[in-house]
Amino acid sequence: MPANKTDTIRKTWRAATTLVREGTQRSGWFETSEALYLNSGFVYDDAADAEAAFAGPGKDARFVYSRFGNPTNAMLEKRLAALEGAEACKVTASGMAAVFAALACQLSAGQRIVSSRALFGSCHYIVTELLPRWGVESVLVDGPDLAQWKTALARKTDVVFLETPSNPMLDLVDVKAVAALARKAGAQVVVDNVFATPLYQKPLELGADVVIYSATKHIDGQGRVLGGAVLGRKAWIEDKLVPFLRHTGPTLSAFNAWVLLKGLETLPLRVAAQTRNALAVAKRLEKAREVARVLYPGLPSHPQYKLAKRQMKAGSTLVAFDLAGGKKAAFAFQNALQTIDISNNLGDAKSLICHPATTTHQRLPAEEKARLAIGPGSLRLSVGLEDPADLIEDIDRGLAAARKAR
Ligand SMILES: *Cc1c(COP(=O)(O)O)cnc(C)c1O
């Protein structure tokens, strides 16, 4: 059996096996775990070898500089592509670098982007402020409302960008229906799949062209590193994305790629346990008198539960809810917590809570917050790996404080 058997055996692996084994490329030392190639450059046998490395075709068969590619990053790219069922993947320094590169590499002045309104804060900035400054027409629609997509996509469009479930209130976009409208409008569909994780939703199978991750979230999932990924067709990645990345340099550190490779090995275990915990927490919140509304795609009370069933394999590791007592209650709830941390990260082993109206979405004008249903009492909870009984005890402490604060 060759030491590099992962590269020689035909792949019929299921997700869990893929996440432990796909992409492993052993060095001459035949190490068990993926090696960390923490180097910026590469050397050549002679001048002709260097010339060949820089000339096509097959020029990407050899690493020439870590801004362009690195063996550790390449292992991560191979593993992520196999999990997603994508032809190709490029990793980036952060999720935002992935979003920006995927949009900027293909949009030019005079073109048009249609996007769902409920976006991660920095995505909102790129779509509504940065791209328009460069002459790209930007149109926002309410993601769950197909009629608005239909109207916006009645005109020729170049890119459609959406996030589902959305941050922070977990509304859903029907990816299949929007992709069909986008196709007619001539647009590439880019989906930010962070909240669903690559395990629970397959945008490419639903008709999307490009999928994006912040690997900072569930893929690391242990609060250590930033990272991002863009996945799609080989031709698009090579012709549009790679030149943009090579020449602008949002490169993922090989160290971070190595941490993310290790993170992927336990992704299915962590996400399954966090989803179980999230469901238990969502059910507890649903019963509480202090809570006006719980939004969890895995519960029948979610306004788009049928769509969640159709396009997602399971709920989510996140729960959004509104406290009846507004900002006072939301602050009292957070301040009473002894286990769950107040933090704006998500997908982490540690349960984290944030108040979007005053943190992640503070910048948004009041009427935009209202349109997104981000109220003064809204909280977003990312459920971690703690014992669910401890989490529910903590939630009960928060609820008691919210009751007193009214
Ligand atoms: C966190 C996040 C991003 C940005 O990722 P970073 O790694 O923080 O740059 C983009 N989209 C969504 C939905 C996110 O949650």
Q: pLDDT band for position 406 (50/70/90)?
A: confident
- Write down the pLDDT at residue 134: 97
- Write down the pLDDT at residue 62: 86
The pLDDT tens digits of the residues spanning 294-331 come to 999 999 999 999 999 999 999 999 999 999 999 999 99
The pLDDT tens digits of the residues spanning 113-158 come to 999 999 888 999 999 999 999 999 999 999 999 999 999 999 999 9
| Residue 151 one-letter amino acid | T
Q: Is the pLDDT at 2 greater than 90, yes or no? A: no
Contact 164, 308 (CB under 8 A): no
Distance 314 CA to ligand 1 centre (A): 21
- Residues within 6 Å of ligand 1 by CB: 94-96, 99, 120, 123, 163, 167, 192, 194-195, 214, 216-217, 226, 228
What single-letter DSSP state applies at residue 212? Answer: E
CA-atom Rg of the chain in angstroms:
22
Distance 288 CA to ligand 1 centre (A): 31
Residue 96 Cα: closest atom of ligand 1: 9
- Write down the pLDDT at residue 6: 55
Flag the least confident range among 192-196, 297-301, 361-365: 361-365
Share of the chain above pLDDT 70, in %: 96
> To the nearest whole number, what is the mean pLDDT of the chain?
95
Q: Which two tokens stand for residue 299?
A: 């519960």
**Mutation test of ligand 1: which of 211, 216, 354 has the most ligand atoms closer than 8 Å to its C-beta?**
216
**Mutation test of ligand 1: which of 194, 212, 316, 344 has the most ligand atoms closer than 8 Å to its C-beta?**
194
Residue 99 Cα: closest atom of ligand 1: 10
What is d(CA 132, CA 118) in angstroms, rounded to the nearest whole number?
Answer: 18
Q: Which two tokens stand for residue 202?
A: 């397959």
In the chain, the N- to C-terminal Cα span, in Å, equals: 68
- Enumerate residues 6+ apart whose C-beta is below 8 A from 209: 188, 189, 190, 232, 233, 236
Q: What is the mean pLDDT of residues 358-373?
A: 91
Residue 345 Cα: closest atom of ligand 1: 1
Distance 160 CA to ligand 1 centre (A): 18
Distance 347 CA to ligand 1 centre (A): 11
Q: Using the CB atoms, write b or e for 40-64: b if 16+ within 10 Å.
A: eebeeeeeeeeebbeeeeeeeeebe
Q: pLDDT band for position 61 (50/70/90)?
A: confident
Distance 178 CA to ligand 1 centre (A): 22
The pLDDT tens digits of the residues spanning 214-264 come to 999 999 999 999 999 999 999 999 999 999 999 999 999 999 999 999 999
**What's phi and psi for 2, nearest 5 deg?**
-70, 145
What is d(CA 82, CA 22) in angstroms, rounded to the nearest whole number?
Answer: 7
The pLDDT tens digits of the residues spanning 381-391 come to 999 999 999 99
Q: What is the mean pLDDT of residues 280-293?
A: 98
**Mutation test of ligand 1: which of 92, 120, 352 has the most ligand atoms closer than 8 Å to its C-beta?**
120
Share of the chain above pLDDT 90, in %: 92
Q: What is the mean pLDDT of residues 208-214?
A: 98
What is d(CA 210, CA 143) in angstroms, rounded to the nearest whole number?
Answer: 18
Q: What is the mean pLDDT of residues 204-217?
A: 98
Distance 216 CA to ligand 1 centre (A): 7
> pTM of the prediction?
0.96
The pLDDT tens digits of the residues spanning 69-123 come to 999 999 999 999 999 999 999 999 999 999 999 999 999 999 999 999 998 889 9
- Write down the pLDDT at residue 1: 42
Distance 181 CA to ligand 1 centre (A): 26
**Mutation test of ligand 1: which of 92, 96, 193 has the most ligand atoms closer than 8 Å to its C-beta?**
96
Q: Is the pLDDT at 397 greater than 90, yes or no? A: yes
